[in-house]
Structure 1
């Protein structure tokens, strides 16, 4: 009798802890999804409303990044539904859709971040060529379309292979169900992405220190590069646990053990991707101006006009100071 009572008490305690964990997980997912919806929708509305001022390759890339991150918000919403309604977690169709949406979002956003760094690199190192190339909208559309197509195919092909082989997905967790080969490829891509971006930023910063631009313009470019480097350092910190566990899943003998650990290590990476609108959107002064205009219901035309006037005045003043110092 005592043993039965003790077992019942232990079972009840475990159920309570499990329920608390589910409630906490659901709350975090809902908060993250709502924040992602809000921030990336704000970017898209800003690009649409102030298209006269927010134009060019950087803002087009930011718009595509916002769309990719909205897909992540959809994936997080599906995760919330799976946490609330446990029967969905064993539904093959639901699981495949969630994995596809999340995988396409992460793959596209990673490639777009490389494009954003490369665009900044070319704008400073080869300004005339960059200006000419950025005006070729057809070429730019083709490049962005290729990014989306590759990201979709990389995720869709393994998903359809699993369906054709009649594999029933017993667990719908994204981090746990990534194939070992795909996880390893993603890890290599993440490390290469970080290395390439940091190298480009360091080359640009070295170039800026020895250039003949005005002090004000040089300072602004240095600040932008600093923001990019901080963003990429945060990126690798958040994704490094996933990289390590993916390598262990590929080469270790205890694959199942590390696969179960990977479902938790992917959480910081998802959080990092969900916060792209803060890391890259809010770091842009024009987008910040657009955000203020929309959220405070102000006249955006006046805000941008004042901002451009101040920027032009400070640039003119810095040029005059540089000329005087040379004399």
Structure 2
């Protein structure tokens, strides 16, 4: 969501709308649910799983991303609940940057988790060198650095635009990319579509691989269902929370509709996208076998190991 702000509204008298109330309520619920869930998930991942596997490394980074996104929400809640912003342009820029970076990193880490599961189940032996905690850590560092750098130009433009408002900063309602930043917005939309395609392909190939394996006993059936649920949650997050925002970024430059209605839809979809951090803990639960067990009791990723052995025997 690194976009240039071209329509800056500097008046401190905003028109109250129902969307402001809904936004404050939704952001409040996301904070109330997402913050404790991701805090507990991060604690469990670090204490009981550590950085011993590629799956754990990716999920720890996703939990950190979601936790930081949740921590950026109190200022948004205050703004939409009071319809005022007394904190200045600097605080606004920091809150916007934190939200944007973690929105992007979340989509990347979810895709990396799908790829990790895909290689573990479809190519268990050939992907062994790729599925290491070291390689996963390098990928995560690359994601954090590259996406942070990509956000900097938009944040700089955001800061410059807000400085023209002086003390009358409307922060999260200051503008949307309707007349400028066309290439940036379309690029972001294409990026999200590419990530969706990767998730769709991984999901389809994993389902095909699982269908070719004998069901066996009830334990194996349950493990297969857990694997399918991982990909189901990933697809749900992308289709429900990320894709509407991506489609709207594309549509912003393809029609000449009312600018105010575009603004309303844009901010509503940003609000919707923030909900994804409440569902991500489900990925941790279904992805890591024995999620609640201590490190010493866990003998690797049992789900992947069992399914991989089944692949080798078939």
- Once the two structures are overlaid, the 10-residue window that deviates more, 61-70 or 247-256, is 247-256
Counterparts of 1:214-225 in structure 2 under 5 Å? 217=220, 220-221=223-224, 223-225=226-228
How much is the aligned-residue C-alpha RMSD, in angstroms? 3.6
TM-aligned CA deviation for residue 41 of structure 1: 0.9
- Once the two structures are overlaid, the 10-residue window that deviates more, 86-95 or 262-271, is 86-95
Of 249, 264, 269, which residue of structure 2 is paired with 1:260?
Answer: 264
Q: Separation in 2 of the partners of 1:287 and 1:184?
A: 41
- Once the two structures are overlaid, the 10-residue window that deviates more, 209-218 or 76-85, is 209-218
Of 241, 247, 251, which residue of structure 2 is paired with 1:248?
Answer: 251
Map Cα deviations across residues 224-245 of structure 1 (whole Å, 9 max, x no partner).
Answer: 1343134313421233332332
Hey, what does 1:111 align to over in structure 2? 108
- Greater relative CO (CA pairs within 8 A, separation 6+): 2
The 1:175–1:22 alpha-carbon spacing in structure 2 relative to 1, beyond 3 Å, is closer
Hey, what does 1:129 align to over in structure 2? 126
SS at match of 1:29: helix
Counterparts of 1:192-207 in structure 2 under 5 Å? 192-207=194-209
The count of corresponding residues between Structure 1 and Structure 2 is 285
Structure ID, larger Rg: 1
Q: Separation in 2 of the partners of 1:38 and 1:223?
A: 24
The 1:226–1:275 alpha-carbon spacing in structure 2 relative to 1, beyond 3 Å, is closer
More helix by share: 1
Q: Separation in 1 of the partners of 2:83 and 2:164?
A: 16
Gaps in structure 1 of 5+ consecutive residues = 1-16, 291-299
Hey, what does 2:24 align to over in structure 1? 26
Counterparts of 1:1-327 in structure 2 under 5 Å? 18=16, 25-51=23-49, 55-84=52-81, 86-88=83-85, 91-135=88-132, 137=134, 139-164=135-160, 168=164, 170-173=169-172, 176-177=175-176, 179-211=181-213, 217=220, 220-221=223-224, 223-254=226-257, 256-257=259-260, 258-278=262-282, 280-284=283-287, 286=289, 288-289=291-292, 300=294, 305=297
TM-aligned CA deviation for residue 282 of structure 1: 3.0
**How does the TM-score come out when normalised to structure 2?**
0.76
Asked whether the equivalents of residues 197 and 232 of structure 1 are also in contact (C-alpha less than 8 Å), the reply is yes
Query: What stretches of structure 1 move > 4 A for 4+ residues in a row?
Result: 17-25, 84-87, 164-167, 211-219
Gaps in structure 2 of 5+ consecutive residues = 1-14
Map Cα deviations across residues 270-311 of structure 1 (whole Å, 9 max, x no partner).
Answer: 112343123x12324646435xxxxxxxxx57xx84x87xx7
Q: Separation in 2 of the partners of 1:157 and 1:107?
A: 15
Q: Separation in 2 of the partners of 1:92 and 1:119?
A: 40
TM-aligned CA deviation for residue 57 of structure 1: 0.7
SS at match of 1:134: coil
